[in-house]
Amino acid sequence: MTLANPDIALVVKTRNRADGLDAFFAAIRRIEMSCPWELIIVDNGSTDETAIKLNTFVSEFQGHSNVITEPRRGAGFACNAGWRATNASIIAFTDDDCYPEPDYLKNMLEVFADQSLGFTGGRILLYDPTDAPVTINTSQTEKYLYAGSFVWPGFVNGANMGFRRQALMDIGGFDNAFGPGTPFVVEEADIALRGLASGWNGKYDPRPVVYHHHGRKPGKDVESIMRVYDAGRGAYYMKCMLFMPQRWQCAWFWLRCVGHQPLAKTAREVYSAVRYLFHLLRHKPNITY
């Protein structure tokens, strides 16, 4: 059952996670909110029993919820389908392997009491202490980014981020070429950068908290995901320098990184930047900011 005018919506994308959804469902049931909110779950082309489990959960869930299907693979497609399926003025995003604190949505709304904010990232803690400490952010210090500034990859993480609906509308939503399911896993930095370019401020705020149950262990798991992020950064830097007003800030930031990182990391970034150029030649995207 969907809601006409919720104060906030929580958008969750999932794909082929049938075996791991029960813990996520339990966390959603623990959310405490006194004002109207809506849960939007996007099935991003699952081929296992995910759809069955989602529909069963929604049929039993006491709150307002909706399952939508986006068969085109990629986080950009899924996130866009999710936020466009709700009328909420504030939209929070998390993943199916993340467990929000009960006060997560309450705190997210409090962050957006600042009317200048177009987006925010929140605190991400490890659920399993034996997992590698990656794709998390444990900082308890607020950090601001102001309109027109540059955002470095990692400032916002897809496991815990929120956007004002108007900001998403202003920039046309997520770039479908970016995110898990594509070669360029960097959708969060890209949309934040475009939000800053369009005149919105951004912020990291530690109050909205999720626990990330990513399951990656120290060693090969970490090496593999870091290579993926290297590739995403290269595409992000190239897009910024080609299209965005923060191109000189981006170029300076990348040059500084190159001077302090292994050559192999730089090589992966450069390779991905060139690969993104070929993507542009094939698809001619409409860049909005």
Same-domain check for residues 172 and 198: yes
1 located within any domain = no
Assess whether pLDDT exceeds 80 at residue 143: yes
pLDDT at 190: 97
265-269, Cβ contacts within 8 angstroms, sequence gap of 24 or more:
265/230, 268/227, 268/230, 268/231, 268/234, 269/230, 269/231, 269/233, 269/234, 269/237
pLDDT at position 220, please? Answer: 85
pLDDT of residue 100 exceeding 60, the answer is: yes
pTM of the complete model: 0.95
Domain identity same for 31 and 76? yes
Q: Tell me whether residue 2 is in a domain.
A: no
168, 245: one domain = no
CA–CA separation, 112 and 116 (whole Å): 8
Assigned domain for 3 exists: no
The predicted pLDDT at position 15 comes to 95
Domain-ending residue, one of 212, 236, 254: 212
If asked whether residues 200 and 235 sit together in one domain, one would say: no
Instruction: Return the pLDDT at 2.
Output: 58
Q: What is the pLDDT of residues 7-18, one digit of tens each?
A: 999 999 999 999
Q: What's the domain count of the chain? A: 2
* Percent residues over pLDDT 70 in the chain: 97
Q: What percent of the chain clears pLDDT 90, i.e. is strictly above it?
A: 93
Confidence of residue 287 (pLDDT cuts 50, 70, 90): low
Q: Is residue 288 one of the residues assigned to a domain?
A: no
Q: Write out pLDDT tens, residues 40-63.
A: 999 999 999 999 999 999 999 989
pLDDT for 202 equals 98
User: What local confidence, expressed as pLDDT, does residue 289 receive?
Assistant: 61
Would you state the pLDDT for residue 288? 63
pLDDT reported for residue 170: 97
Rounded average pLDDT over 238-259: 96
- Band (pLDDT 50/70/90 cuts) for residue 286 is low
Tell me what the mean pLDDT of segment 127-149 comes to. Answer: 96
CATH number at residue 56: 3.90.550.10
Give me the pLDDT at residue 85, please. 96
| Whole-number average pLDDT of the chain | 95
Say if residue 130 is exposed, middle or buried (CB neighbours under 10 Å; 0-12, 13-18, 19+): exposed
Q: Which residues contact 41 (CB under 8 A, 6 or more apart)?
A: 11, 12, 13, 14, 54, 58, 65, 66, 67, 68
pLDDT tens digit string along 27-40?
A: 999 999 999 999 99
Residues 132, 181: one domain?
yes
| 204 and 92, same domain (yes or no) | yes
List pLDDT tens digits, range 190-208: 999 999 999 999 999 999 9
Q: Given this model, what pLDDT does residue 283 score? A: 82
Find the domain containing 263 and state its range. 220-283
pLDDT tens, position by position, 158-170: 999 999 999 999 9
Residues 147, 255: one domain?
no
**pLDDT at 154 exceeding the cut of 90:** yes
